[in-house]
Amino acid sequence: MSNTRQLPPGVVDVLPAHRFDEAKLREYLEPHLEGVTESFVIKQFQGGQSNPTFFIQAGPHRYVLRKKPPGKLLPSAHQIEREYRVIQALQDTDVPVPTTRLLCEDDSIIGTPFYIMDFLEGRILEHPALQNAAKEERWAIYEVMADTLARLHRVDWRAVGLEDYGRPDNYVQRQIKRWSQQYEASKTHELPAMDRLIEWLPANAPTEDETAIAHGDFRLGNLMLHPSKPEVIAVLDWELSTLGHPLADLGYCCMPYHLPGDMPGIRGVVGLDLKEQNIPDEETFLRIYCERVGRDGVPHWYFFLAFSLFRIAAILQGVYARALQGNASSADALKVGERAGVLAEIGWKLAQKAEEGGR
């Protein structure tokens, strides 16, 4: 393999806010990673709003480094160590994940804990309209997305050593409480729809409980697809994963079916002719998931959609607050954070549909 392979798309020089001592990192990695003694180049991936992510070319070998962001962080946020643990636990399951290489919890190397995994060649298609994919493969991409989520939810979390990865009960209520607190901690202005959701969600949460490994941010943009086939080769970005309710993951994955397709920065498909675009509608997607995971329906659907929009609105509010502090990991974090209000409004409308007796 050549040592002068092209850099992957989407990498830039390390941003000023995220610079660290690269020589110290290289010295630390030399005994642990192949190729580091030959040559060492580090760049930063643009995209993603939370944990800064870097590309490493070490001789002929290519790796990805994920670290916590610099600066003061919200309690329980950016738990790199948990992210590493779940990816490692899934190595021998049928859930596609990158190969992990090491976890460093020593702040003295680059300022925060970090982990390293193999870099994979593939496609990441951020927008659910799939305009960058061939029309004839779009249906299959949605199908493998549903199948991959079902594979994750079928994993025996006890058997893979994740029995203490989270509390296996009351996930939804605990998440509502957590993200309400995170939202309040990062609040910069009034969002009336968020206030309504914070009141409505705990009062309307399902009493039935289920437990699976919940990814927490399962969407197209966190799936690495094969370079030329509609096949998922890796699920990425496990920062929000825990033991939780599988329908929360499913609701989050299906948010684009309820988001506008013509609003900048909002990745939705409302307004698109899905049939003409060769994209399954929501009912079909749910049916595929249910068939693959082995369940006969999705109760409280509008609740889980409203809950998902509330969560992402709270997350984006945190991105916005970090951007104001100057340490968000993406240059467009300010714009992203400002979309929290739009998502909260849509979430509140879905909550009202649930009130009206929707499924």
Provide the CATH number for the domain around residue 200: 3.90.1200.10
**Per-residue model confidence (pLDDT) at position 327:** 67
Neighbours of 105 (CB within 10 A): 12
**Per-residue model confidence (pLDDT) at position 357:** 74
**Per-residue model confidence (pLDDT) at position 4:** 45
The reply to whether 240 and 140 lie within a common domain is: yes
Domain count, the chain: 2
The reply to whether 90 and 229 lie within a common domain is: no
Q: Give the residues of the chain that fall short of pLDDT 70.
A: 1-5, 47-49, 71-78, 327-331, 358-359
Model pLDDT for residues 233-287, shown as the tens digit of each residue:
999 989 889 999 999 999 999 999 999 998 888 999 999 999 999 999 999 999 9
pTM over 0.95: no
CATH of the domain at 30: 3.30.200.20
In a domain, 265, yes or no: yes
Q: How far apart are CA 238 and CA 83, in angstroms?
A: 5
In a domain, 1, yes or no: no
Angle between helices 171-186 and 192-204 (to 10 degrees): 160
**Per-residue model confidence (pLDDT) at position 149:** 98
In a domain, 123, yes or no: no
In a domain, 130, yes or no: no
Angle between helices 171-186 and 301-325 (to 10 degrees): 30
The strand pairing partners of 55, in sequence order, are 43, 64
The reply to whether 157 and 82 lie within a common domain is: no
The reply to whether 109 and 244 lie within a common domain is: no
The reply to whether 92 and 216 lie within a common domain is: no
The reply to whether 159 and 109 lie within a common domain is: no
Q: Contact 202/159 with Cβ under 8 angstroms?
A: no
In a domain, 268, yes or no: yes
Of 60, 93, 118, which marks where a domain is finished? 118
The reply to whether 88 and 151 lie within a common domain is: no
In a domain, 124, yes or no: no
Instruction: List Cβ<8 Å contacts ≥24 apart for 292-299.
Output: 292/146, 292/147, 292/150, 292/151, 293/149, 293/150, 293/153, 293/154, 293/246, 294/154, 298/247, 298/250, 298/359, 299/206, 299/208, 299/247, 299/359
The reply to whether 146 and 75 lie within a common domain is: no
The reply to whether 26 and 160 lie within a common domain is: no
The domain in which residue 15 lies consists of 11-118
Q: How many alpha carbons lie under 13 Å from residue 55 in its C-beta half-sphere?
A: 19
Q: How far apart are CA 358 and CA 219, in angstroms?
A: 24
Q: How far apart are CA 159 and CA 155, in angstroms?
A: 8
In a domain, 245, yes or no: yes
What burial class does residue 233 get, using C-beta atoms within 10 Å of its C-beta: 0-12 exposed, 13-18 middle, 19+ buried? middle
